[in-house]
Every structure is written in C-alpha cells, then in structure tokens.
Amino acid sequence: MGSLFTGRHQQIPASDWPAALLAMPEGGVAVFSPAQGSFAGRRIARALLEEAAVLGGGHVVEFPGGDLLLGATTGPGNRARQAIAELTGQTAESWPLPANRSAVKARCEQAQAASAALLPTLAGLEAHCATLPVEDLACLTFFADGTGTRPVAQRLGPASLGLADAESEAVAREWLCRRLLAALADPVQRRRLPALRPGLRLILDLPLGGLPRGAPLAGGAPDDPNRPIALLPLASLADPGGFAAMEAGLRAAGWAVGLVATDACALDWVEAPGLVWAVPATAEPPAHRPPRLIALGQPTPGWCRAPGILHEGTSP
C-alpha cells in the first residue's frame, strides 16, 4: 500500500476515494474544503490541496460538495488548511489518519451525494446571465450607521440567482457584476437599473478585475469621508500584486476600497489594513472587528448598531 504515496500527486476519480482512504498510511491526514464561496476561491483552495499532495504524497478528490486531500504526511496538509482560511475566508476540515477513517468516510459520502444534477452547466449559467433582463440583474439595498435608522448609504450589486451551489452563485456574481458595470456606462440601460437615491453614499460591487479601463464612474475627493466604496470579492487577494495595483487605481480615482466575504470568519484569518469589510451579520461580534465594517443581512444584531458600522435593512 505504501507505493500509492510516492511524493507525487495524482488526482483520482471521485469513485475511487474508498480505496485511497483504506490505503492511507499511519501519520496521514485528510483535509476537506467544502464547495462554498466564490468560484475563484474554490480554485485557490483546490490548488493548495494539490500542492500539499505533491509535497507530502497523496491524492486530491473532487466531489460535487467540495475537494478532499488524502495526504501521506500531515505538515503540507495542515499548511494548506491554514492557507485556505487566510486566502479564501473558508474553513477547511481536517482529520488525522487512519484513526478517523469513519469520520472522513461519512464526510465524503455527504459531499458525493451533493446533487450535480441540480447545478447548472457553466455554459447554461453564462447564457442565463447574458440574457437576464437589465431590470433583473441588480438589486439595491440600504444601510444606516450606528444607532441610526435613517439610510446613509446604498449598495448596488448583482442580484442573487438563489442557486443551491455557492460556487455557481459566485460565478454568476462575476458575470452579473460585469453586466452591471456595462449598464451603468450606458445611459439607456442605466435607466433600467434600480434608481439610486441622491445624497446617499454609494457602495458598488465589482468583479475580480475591478473597474474596466475608462469606466465613467466618478469617485469623490480623497478626504471625503463619504466617497463611494468599491467592494471587491475576497478572492481578489489571491493575486497580491494585482490587488495592490487595483486598490491604488481605485483610491486615485476617489474610491474607498473594501472586501466582501461570504463568511464572517474571514475577519479572523485575513489581515487587510485600511480596507472596509462587508460580511454577513452574525449573532455574536467577530473576535477581530475592523474599524470600518458593513454588516450584511437581517435581522441586525445589537452589536452592529455601533458607530462606524453600516447595517442593512433600512429603506428610504
């Protein structure tokens, strides 16, 4: 059995995972990264697991519900788990092997049972996003500050398609963000988008690439505390150099820059000084709360009603 783990990575079919699990040597590790968050984030997580399989010997298995590393040594697997959390904001699970085979088996069966039939094909999803009426591709939500109830900010972002699969929803977000920016630049299409309220600070969702070159979207003065906020997906940090250039360009154009994450635990793993954070409002405050925070969703917990926190749910 030891010949299966030679220090080289081999991606195996999902149907072969039971045999690979039984062949795990003493001192191995299983790391499971669930299919959550953005499409780009899942690709980053999968690449980290594959690197761990190369460094420590083992296999990576792709399931509809996530990706599994069966590694022969624990070090690379544990480092991959930490890096996944830092770069994507998603928490991967891990188990020492072979002692925890039963737990890994149950997790694999659950991930394998995720119905791929319910997931749209990429081509079908792209076609749907491309043909969605302009009136349906965006939504507008409003935010109050601190203990206030009066709207002070408005977020214009892509509409949720309500897909069961988080990865497909994230892919749709990217395509709809691009369409939204194109519609904002076209006077005819812009009239078909939700009407922005004068006097409210703008929070605008952007795709991974940020604003397209030459986009006619004005920012504010560098010292304006109410200058618009550009929200970039957390996966943008996977390219540090590209993100730094994009951030500098947005700031020079008069935008504040923020990150949007699908899980508030990203605040505990990722350091991003000077950026605004937009995360789901959790029942308990995060351990590491940034100076500027946008709490998404309702109901609004009490800790969100504090100065410097924009919380969702108000309407003009």
At residue 9, does pLDDT exceed 50? no
> Are 40 and 177 contacting, i.e. CB atoms less than 8 angstroms apart?
no
Q: What is the pLDDT of residues 99-133, one digit of tens each?
A: 999 999 999 988 887 655 444 567 778 888 999 99
Q: Calculate mean pLDDT across residues 238-262.
A: 91
CB < 8 Å & 24+ apart, contacts of 147-150: 147/305, 147/306, 149/314, 150/314
Q: How confident is the model at residue 42 (pLDDT cuts 50, 70, 90)?
A: confident
Supply the pTM of this predicted model: 0.64
Q: Tell me how many degrees the CA angle 64-42-93 measures, rounded to the nearest 5.
A: 75
Chain center to CA of 155: 17
Q: What's the DSSP call for residue 298?
A: S
Instruction: Give the C-alpha separation, 100 to 98, whole Å.
Output: 6
Most distant CA pair in the chain: distance in Å? 68
At residue 164, does pLDDT exceed 80? no
Chain center to CA of 290: 18
How many CA atoms lie within 13 Å of 176's alpha carbon, on the beta-carbon side?
26
Q: Calculate mean pLDDT across residues 195-215.
A: 86
